[in-house]
């Protein structure tokens, strides 16, 4: 991408499992937002052609980025004042360049070679096809009811950028079969989406089970939790009476267990509100989704998510070559404003990383050193 938010120009190598980390405000979400912006513009019918009606839709269902002035990187140069987002796949480059308009919330696409856009839409099915999920850091909180959107949850299988359609998606798709071995219940002959969701939620909270059903006479659905197994544990609880972390993690769990070959799943801070072991399990779940054929890009501050990924590499559940770890940090002053850079430690087959830049998951050591001093 060029001239997009935190970056004057930045390339980020994406693997089947990409982990983005770094200090606050270092550009991690910018990477996810660039992809979400393409997706949101495409879904609005604005990306498949180049004329006055095409462009980057800055404010929509996935991201609300403001106007041109908010998204164009401060230190652009007059030689290249435009905003570009490009994706390379199998050595082919697909590029969307949009003209800057200070107050515009639709940045008009500039000319591309004939056929470029339609080719890109065909060749990047994970970005533009079904199976795309983007879960932002600000997600649904425990509530008495959730929206019932047929269009989002049933027709498009979309969980919502805040996971707001998760409960309705579960209600509608709970009996779907999970075919991927990595996501199914061990030793079960078949696993439904609801069973797989329960199974992975139980890794976060032993004994929990989930019920998602409609509320008659309303356009809403409800979620409830049970604890314990079988009929003995039949008491059910509203999300508002259960720990915050469970509901906060549910969209992440459902996005991963519903992963299919070709899914692209973007996750911001999936570890939020989970206990440390739960965070490790969450990395295992994301690895299982990759084994099911999905591509995951996640932004995290969690040592446990990183270590979960490293353990999964060591155990052979994912190959080191299928992972990418990027550490974002801000550099000093650019020509104007600040800019960010990316350091990418390489993962070895035993889960070891080639490089531990300063500030990269080193707080344990920093604090211990001071404690032992
Ligand atoms: N138009 C812009 N020009 C330059 N920097 C920007 C622009 N918009 C946002 N930023 C910078 O981007 C950073 C936030 O990036 P973000 O990707 O949200 O960070 P995080 O790493 O916390 O996810 C902030 O440092 C902000 O200064
Ligand atoms: Mg962020």
Query: Residue 331's pLDDT band (boundaries 50, 70, 90)?
Result: confident
The whole-number pLDDT of residue 49 equals 86
Compute, in angstroms, the gap from residue 28 CA to the centroid of ligand 1.
8
What's the alpha-carbon Rg for the chain, to the nearest Å? 21
Compute, in angstroms, the gap from residue 2 CA to the centroid of ligand 2.
19
> Does the residue 223 lie in any domain?
yes
Whether 95 contacts 112, CB under 8 Å: yes
Count of domains forming the chain: 1
Query: Of the residues 7, 30, 70, 268, which should be mutated to test ligand 1's pocket, given the most ligand atoms within 8 Å of the CB?
Result: 30
> Does the residue 130 lie in any domain?
no
Give yes or no for residue 233 having a pLDDT over 60: no
Q: Which ligand is nearest to the CA of 340?
A: 1
Q: Which ligand is nearest to the CA of 73?
A: 1
> Does the residue 41 lie in any domain?
no
pLDDT tens for each residue of 99-133: 999 999 999 999 899 999 999 999 999 999 999 99
Query: Residue 235's pLDDT band (boundaries 50, 70, 90)?
Result: confident
The whole-number pLDDT of residue 336 equals 52
> Does the residue 209 lie in any domain?
yes
Which stretches of 8-64 are DSSP H helices? 28-43
How far is C-alpha 290 from the chain's CA centre? 13
Whether 39 contacts 127, CB under 8 Å: yes
Question: Across residues 59-71, what is the average pLDDT?
Answer: 98
Domain, as residue range, for 230: 138-258
pLDDT tens for each residue of 279-293: 999 999 999 999 999
pLDDT tens for each residue of 193-232: 999 999 999 999 999 999 999 999 999 999 999 997 655 4
Mean pLDDT for the chain overall: 94
Compute, in angstroms, the gap from residue 135 CA to the centroid of ligand 1.
18
Compute, in angstroms, the gap from residue 342 CA to the centroid of ligand 2.
14
> Does the residue 27 lie in any domain?
no
The whole-number pLDDT of residue 263 equals 98
> Does the residue 213 lie in any domain?
yes
DSSP secondary structure string for all residues of 189-246: S--BHHHHHHHHHHHHSTT-EEEEEE-TTSSEEEEEEE-SSTGGG--EE-GGGS-HHH
> Does the residue 184 lie in any domain?
yes
Query: Residue 334's pLDDT band (boundaries 50, 70, 90)?
Result: low
Atom of ligand 1 nearest to the CA of 328: 21
Residue with the smallest CA separation from ligand 1 atom 24 is 25
> Does the residue 206 lie in any domain?
yes
């Amino acid at each position: 991408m060029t001239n997009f938010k935190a970056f004057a120009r930045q390339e980020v190598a994406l693997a089947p499992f990409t982990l983005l980390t770094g200090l606050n405000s270092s550009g991690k979400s910018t990477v996810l937002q660039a992809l979400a912006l393409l997706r949101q513009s495409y879904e609005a019918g604005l990306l498949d052609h180049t004329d006055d009606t095409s462009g980057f839709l800055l404010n929509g269902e996935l991201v609300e980025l403001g106007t041109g002035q908010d998204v164009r990187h401060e230190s652009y140069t007059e030689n290249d004042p435009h905003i570009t987002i490009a994706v390379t796949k199998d050595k082919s480059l697909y590029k969307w360049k949009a003209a800057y308009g200070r107050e515009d919330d639709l940045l008009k696409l500039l000319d591309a070679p004939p056929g470029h856009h339609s080719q890109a839409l065909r060749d990047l099915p994970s970005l533009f096809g079904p199976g795309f999920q983007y879960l932002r850091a600000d997600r649904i909180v425990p509530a008495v009811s959730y929206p019932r959107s047929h269009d989002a949850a049933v027709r498009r299988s979309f969980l919502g950028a805040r996971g707001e359609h998760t409960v309705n998606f579960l209600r509608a798709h709970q009996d779907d079969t999970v075919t991927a071995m990595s996501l199914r219940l061990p030793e079960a002959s078949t696993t439904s989406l609801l069973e797989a969701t329960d199974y992975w939620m139980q890794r976060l909270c032993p004994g929990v089970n989930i019920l998602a059903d409609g509320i008659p006479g309303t356009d809403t659905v409800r979620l409830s939790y049970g604890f314990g197994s079988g009929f003995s544990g039949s008491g059910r609880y509203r999300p508002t009476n259960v720990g915050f972390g469970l509901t906060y993690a549910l969209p992440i769990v459902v996005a991963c267990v519903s992963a299919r070959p070709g899914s692209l799943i973007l996750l911001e801070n999936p570890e939020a509100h989970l206990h440390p072991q739960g965070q490790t399990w969450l990395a295992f779940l994301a690895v299982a989704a990759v084994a099911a054929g999905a591509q995951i890009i996640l932004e995290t501050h969690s040592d446990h998510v990183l270590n979960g990924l490293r353990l999964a590499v060591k155990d052979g559940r994912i190959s080191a070559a299928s992972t990418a770890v990027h550490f974002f940090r801000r550099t000093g002053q650019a020509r104007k404003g600040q800019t960010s850079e990316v350091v990418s430690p390489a993962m070895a087959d035993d889960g070891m990383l080639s490089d531990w830049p300063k500030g990269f998951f080193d707080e344990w050591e920093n604090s211990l050193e001071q404690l032992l001093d």
